[in-house]
Amino acid sequence: MSADGKESKSGFRAWLDHRTGLDSLLRHTLDEPIPGGAKIAYVFGSGLLFLFLSQIVTGVFLAMYYVPSADHAHTTVAYITKEVTGGSFLRSIHAYGSSAIIIVLLLHMTQTFLYGSYKGRRELVWVAGCVLLALMLGMAFTGYLLPWDQKAFFATTVGTNILSEIPWVGNGLKELLRGGTEMGTLTVSRFFVLHVFVIPACIFAFVAIHVYSFRKAGAAGPATEDPVSPKLPAETFYPKQLVMDMGFATLIIVLLGLVAYFWPMDLGPRADPADTQFMPRPEWYYVPVFQYLKYWHGSTALLGILVIPGIVGLLLVGLPFFDRSLERRPWKRPISVGLFTIVLLGLAALGVSSYRQDMRNPGVAAQLRAQQEATKEFMNAKFEPELSGSSLSAQNVALSNPEAAKGKEIFEAQSCNACHGDNGVGTAAAPKLVGVGAKYDAARIAALLNTPSAKMTAGGMPPVQLKDDEMKPLIAYLQSLN
């Protein structure tokens, strides 16, 4: 853009500028004054914007393959990871991108906090930033379930169970989020809609509020600067700060690319709701919360789950309203800087103690290692297009064989599905029946149903008393489950 831009503009440029005001918009954006000049310390905000854009681009490509249902989610993610060219790299960039966002978010918050950049008519900037933090944590939580592997399933089960501790509305909230009492296809589809439509739309809105109110108040400059009427000589955003911001974005993409290339994100075995041993562990940034929640049970649960987080949240969001002084230098603000440090150190300590507890308990450590082994084994196995025994193929077999179709009705009428799950896929109460046909012959199944083994009786399974014309179809149905 030359100073005499008006004269040198070609026909198209002039037309475009006339219609859109693009030139003045660009000038306004790039000429933002920064009191005290450009600084590396200011790069985190645009780094976050850059990471968010990267998540959108990688997310769009993932969504081209992904199917949000309990039957297909895991298979489609396995397909992306094992079959699609560059699919594993793409998925890794997206998955590690969420960690990168949390790290840069922490740096951005710490910088603006220490510099007192929320002071002097910048309340809205700070509040919108806090909402963005919550929305990003929501993105991380909803995204974690989508691969529908073991850790996704069980971590989200634990995560949504916490909601039911909230009095009166807790159970309602949990069922709203899950789309029922259990985790299933409706849960995947709700989390998908939140992750892809609802939360991103809110993020766009709050980024707009955040950036607009930031530009309205003006850049705050260094901690020694007056936050309302800056006195230091200003430098424009372009070129120095822009170059620094772009340098930081480049650093981010190079680091993300290296991590994604050398340590591709893994995928565990498909979620098995009947597994009672699995120990879910959240993503690192949720570990402190996970550890914290362990300390609150029974009568104190409310204090730990609602009251304390409520107070901490209120203090954080309301910070620019409570802290009205215009003093910005951190060493002159011992109380707020002290509180901020205590919360950060507390979170770090909780995280460390969670890892140490896991390592100190041999049973837990062994189970976690076994889970890692299972994940490695799954990752090394060849891609299987459609899992045998998926409820869909079981249903199709049952429907194509009239006797088995009748058996399916009996299976449901006898409430076998209450314990063994719809289509015999298994639940926490009873094992899956998929594959029993290969395990036992018809006579053995009939004998087991008439006189259940001690273990079946212990599991609450009643003896099945049916006439031959119902027993046969039921057994035919059980044999069709493979």
Contacting range for ligand HEC; rule: CB under 6 A; set: 52-60, 110-118, 297-305, 460-468: 460-468
450 binds ligand HEC (CB under 6 A): no
Distances (CA, A) of 339 to 315, 319, 322, 346: 10, 11, 13, 10
CB 398 within 8 A of CB 408: yes
Nearer to ligand HEC, 305 or 445 (CB): 445
The residue from 100, 128, 449, 471 that contacts ligand HEC (CB under 6 A) is 449
**Under 8 Å CB-to-CB from 261, ≥6 apart: which residues?**
89, 92
Q: How many residues bind ligand HEC (CB under 6 A)?
A: 22
72 binds ligand HEC (CB under 6 A): no
Nearer to ligand HEC, 267 or 474 (CB): 474
274 binds ligand HEC (CB under 6 A): no
Please name the helix (run of DSSP H) or strand (run of DSSP E) that holds residue 454, with its range, or none: helix 454-458
Nearer to ligand HEC, 33 or 431 (CB): 431
Contact map string, positions 210 to 239, toward ligand HEC, x by CB under 6 A: ------------------------------
Distance CA 244, CA 32 (A): 15
308 binds ligand HEC (CB under 6 A): no
Nearer to ligand HEC, 73 or 464 (CB): 464
Nearer to ligand HEC, 353 or 414 (CB): 414
Residue 388 Cβ vs ligand HEC, minimum distance, rounded to whole Å: 16
Residue 417 Cβ vs ligand HEC, minimum distance, rounded to whole Å: 8
Nearer to ligand HEC, 135 or 416 (CB): 416
Mapped onto helix, strand or coil, the DSSP state of residue 16 is: helix
460 binds ligand HEC (CB under 6 A): yes
Q: Tell whether omega for the bond before 239 is within 30 degrees of 0, i.e. cis.
A: yes
Residue 419 Cβ vs ligand HEC, minimum distance, rounded to whole Å: 3
Distances (CA, A) of 408 to 446, 449, 450, 459, 478: 16, 15, 18, 22, 8
CB 29 within 8 A of CB 1: no
For the chain, what is the total number of helices (H) and then of strands (E)?
A: 25, 2
Nearer to ligand HEC, 135 or 436 (CB): 436
What six digits make up the tokens of 470? 């119902």
445 binds ligand HEC (CB under 6 A): yes
Distance CA 336, CA 27 (A): 38
CB 278 within 8 A of CB 147: no
Nearer to ligand HEC, 360 or 439 (CB): 439
455 binds ligand HEC (CB under 6 A): yes
**Under 8 Å CB-to-CB from 365, ≥6 apart: which residues?**
358, 359
- Termini Cα distance of the chain: 69
The residue from 101, 194, 461, 471 that contacts ligand HEC (CB under 6 A) is 461
Residues 411 to 440 in contact with ligand HEC, rule: CB under 6 A: 414-416, 418-420, 429-431, 433, 436, 439
Q: Phi, psi (5° rounding) for residue 65? A: -110, -25
Nearer to ligand HEC, 367 or 414 (CB): 414
Q: Which amino acid is at 413?
A: A
CB 80 within 8 A of CB 67: no
Site for ligand HEC, rule CB under 6 A: 414-416, 418-420, 429-431, 433, 436, 439, 445, 448-449, 455-456, 459-461, 464, 474
